[in-house]
Amino acid sequence: VCVAELTEAMKLIPKDSFVVLKYVCRFLREVGLHESTNKMSMMSLGTVFGYNLIRHIDKENSQLFLCTADLGQNLVYMLINFFPQVFVLEYSDTGSLGNDV
């Protein structure tokens, strides 16, 4: 998945989910930028938070979880590492697309 595809995919996420994901990823990026102090790289953050942020809809299928765990890790890594490029979408107070948040 490239950054441009992630940016486009953000348009498909419901507004409330997008706002929460953006907030969490902004925070995780801030944590990752202080890796020299806290020893948490952005990839480590992807590992820790990947499963909690990105889950397959079939929660009962443990084999599917094992097969896709690294995908969630890498996706969260990309979301936080490329945050400025991925989260360019803004919503106005009315919920429409715009530049106001």
Q: How far is CA 57 from CA 9, 33, 51, in A?
A: 17, 31, 12
Residue 97, pLDDT score: 54
Q: Does residue 95 carry a pLDDT above 60?
A: no
Q: Does residue 76 carry a pLDDT above 90?
A: yes
Q: Where are the domains of the chain?
A: 3-84
For the chain, the C-alpha Rg in angstroms (whole number) is 14
- % residues pLDDT > 90 (the chain): 56
Per CATH, the number for 3-84 is 1.10.555.10
Grade residue 53 by pLDDT with cuts at 50, 70 and 90.
Answer: confident
Cα 78 to chain centroid distance, Å, stands at 7
Report the mean per-residue pLDDT for the chain. 83
